[in-house]
Structure 1
């Protein structure tokens, strides 16, 4: 074979190999996506949240349901125009409860009027309890304003008013949620979370005498994580004033639930990813030193960031997930399952397990409030009350 011909042959072979390589690369390279945005795979929802009520006025936090299916909600005075801070839903509309007069806040008669209610709860005897923070728009606790009020649902009349002294309801105390064990003590015992960033803890109340005491104040299990930041709707959630540096949200012991046998009280700081429990016998024993109560605290492990907690008669625990628009159930084996996940569940707040087998919860867009967005109110009405079917029964300790 002539030398020139051989050189030409080799050159043509090299060119052919290069061309094939380029062709293969061009076939594997994307040429642009012509799929419509609506047809691209996206996150799928879980469960079926049923709307129960829509709120076009102030934002709600708490909800509770009586044996007969009466639904009660509350509206804290956080800056909205709140005409009444507790209501019963009748035909889907909030009606002042137990009467209209009690909702006119009066610092001079703080023990006799409702200042700002954070939670409403039906106890095992089907009575309504109203938890008044005694704080209006984050101002310090009004003297004799922090209280727990019991209402007889047979008569819709107040039968008990327990006023917390300044040694229990401190200036920055924020009474958040409450659970009951009516077997402990002559008329029962109430456990309340104090979710303040300063001096958070648990308050224990003797329902007969009205005596109350603080427990686990500033204990690691009730305190917020110092640098806690969660992502809600894909954005870091922080306190963002109109002027100044953003700061982490510092909310202590918030969610609360009681075990089906009443032996353990579950709780969690809002600014945390941990779940804790403590012995109720230790909590309620007035002569037991705090250091001995602390020894009974158990770290129940990591969980999602939560606001509300609830429990059922089979010792399942229900937790809100405000940064995932979801509600999960923690089984007795400590595993979790998602009951509902839906982008419309904007900040699931309080949980209430009713006798009809439904779990009721508010979704109030708390994370869109002005204090988190440089003074801009990003909330969109309506706020919602949802429910989901869980086929479970509430804990009844009576």
Structure 2
């Protein structure tokens, strides 16, 4: 009789919330009333609408289909390719439109941050960016908010460029003034020594013609402390966690060349895509190399709260009013661009959740 050999232990109770049999999702956000929003960037799949709401067992274009159809004559009020959606806990869904389908140069005037009123399901305001903020290499990724500062609050957006400098873009929501911070800094740049490995294999760009190149993406994951005073961030191709005072980020009297002195290093947390913070200050981050979800406590202690073979690239996180942690799992690493043009993804992609018994970090008093 052959012995039964030990196998890897998996843990963490995950529930399937929604299965996606169409385009690949990247973003999820759960509003204060429990509504669930999803986004689908245009990376090559047949994306019929780039922002959706889960209603029952179906996806509905949000706020409507018309807004999800690119209108070059009204580009500021139509969604081009949305990377992230974030409900702010006070009645607004914020939409980050890269305007960069297939990671192209952003369409001029199309990259934007859009505020959608969740009561009326209409666009309330659109923030566009000047050419010194959204560069030809920029890929707007994720956003966090603090409405306790200034007259209308501030937004912080990561630039996860693969070809240019990473950065954190600071936006004054009163007047729309925006500026880049930590532009090209080590903390917002890919780790040049990291060789990402997923499902036991090196992750790198592998083109149809046989050419290869390292996979490198800059600042991506972002989270904000419950009091709004600390911003956590990490490059996508890095295993390191950084933070900085939001006051220092907003203070333009601190030259960008000196801003790195205000960055705090938290150590390794695994390679992460999205991150989120709970009301007690813990940061939740994926580990896409190890099919895991980490929890980093305010004292820097790190625990793994889920390790499951179904966590095939944990992308974006959201914490709902039901005290569940929601996560998009989308097999990003199986895309054709990493496998000589062969798409290895297996549908469905999934939205999973696990009970954490914590509320999301507030964005307002």
Q: 1:265–1:277: 8 Å Cα contact kept in structure 2?
A: yes
Q: Which of residues 70, 84, 101 is equivalent to 2:49?
A: 84
- Other structure's SS at 2:248 match: helix
1:108 Cα deviation from its structure 2 partner? 4.0
Q: Which of residues 244, 249, 255 is equivalent to 1:289?
A: 255
Q: Deviations over 1:50-89 (max 9, x none)?
A: 0000000000000000111100000000000001000000
Q: Which of residues 294, 313, 316 is equivalent to 2:279?
A: 313
Q: Which of residues 18, 21, 29 is equivalent to 1:53?
A: 18
User: 2:312 matched to which residue of 1?
Assistant: 346
User: 2:241 matched to which residue of 1?
Assistant: 275
Q: Deviations over 1:240-282 (max 9, x none)?
A: 1122442211100000001122111000001111110111001
The question of 1:176 aligning with 2:138 is answered no
Give the distance between the partners of 2:214 and 2:194, measured in 1 at CA.
6
User: 1:15 matched to which residue of 2?
Assistant: none
- Other structure's SS at 2:247 match: helix
Residues 116-127 of structure 1 mapped to structure 2, 5 A cutoff: 116-127=81-92
Q: 2:190–2:217: 8 Å Cα contact kept in structure 1?
A: yes
Q: 1:110–1:143: 8 Å Cα contact kept in structure 2?
A: no
1:102 Cα deviation from its structure 2 partner? 1.1
Q: Which of residues 177, 181, 193 is equivalent to 1:211?
A: 177
Give the distance between the partners of 1:354 and 1:285, measured in 2 at CA.
32
Q: Which of residues 215, 222, 225 is equivalent to 2:191?
A: 225
Residues 357-372 of structure 1 mapped to structure 2, 5 A cutoff: 357-372=323-338
Q: 1:199 to 1:107 in 2, by over 3 A?
A: farther
Q: Which of residues 214, 224, 249 is equivalent to 1:258?
A: 224
1:107 Cα deviation from its structure 2 partner? 3.5
Give the distance between the partners of 1:145 and 1:288, measured in 2 at CA.
30
Give the distance between the partners of 1:320 and 1:116, measured in 2 at CA.
23
Give the distance between the partners of 1:106 and 1:167, measured in 2 at CA.
24
Number of aligned residue pairs: 363
Q: 2:31–2:89: 8 Å Cα contact kept in structure 1?
A: no
Q: 1:195–1:269: 8 Å Cα contact kept in structure 2?
A: yes
The question of 1:195 aligning with 2:160 is answered yes
Give the distance between the partners of 2:99 and 2:237, measured in 1 at CA.
22
User: 1:322 matched to which residue of 2?
Assistant: 288
The question of 1:34 aligning with 2:2 is answered yes
Q: Which of residues 85, 96, 99 is equivalent to 1:131?
A: 96
User: 2:111 matched to which residue of 1?
Assistant: 146
Q: 1:124–1:182: 8 Å Cα contact kept in structure 2?
A: no
Bigger strand share: 2
Q: Which of residues 330, 354, 363 is equivalent to 1:388?
A: 354
Q: 2:269–2:294: 8 Å Cα contact kept in structure 1?
A: no
Give the distance between the partners of 2:252 and 2:301, measured in 1 at CA.
35
Normalized against structure 1, the TM-score is what? 0.89
1:191 Cα deviation from its structure 2 partner? 0.3
1:291 Cα deviation from its structure 2 partner? 3.0
Q: 2:91–2:119: 8 Å Cα contact kept in structure 1?
A: no
Please give the root-mean-square deviation of Cα atoms over the aligned residues, in Å.
Answer: 1.2
User: 1:4 matched to which residue of 2?
Assistant: none
Give the distance between the partners of 1:247 and 1:373, measured in 2 at CA.
12
1:141 Cα deviation from its structure 2 partner? 0.6
Q: 1:227–1:248: 8 Å Cα contact kept in structure 2?
A: no
Q: 1:227 to 1:247 in 2, by over 3 A?
A: farther
Q: 2:91–2:118: 8 Å Cα contact kept in structure 1?
A: yes
Q: Deviations over 1:313-347 (max 9, x none)?
A: 11111110111111010112211111111101110
Normalized against structure 2, the TM-score is what? 0.97
1:184 Cα deviation from its structure 2 partner? 1.0
Q: 2:83–2:140: 8 Å Cα contact kept in structure 1?
A: yes
Q: Deviations over 1:102-137 (max 9, x none)?
A: 111234432121110000001132310000001011
Give the distance between the partners of 2:291 and 2:107, measured in 1 at CA.
34
- Other structure's SS at 1:313 match: coil
Give the distance between the partners of 2:68 and 2:190, measured in 1 at CA.
32
Give the distance between the partners of 2:47 and 2:344, measured in 1 at CA.
18
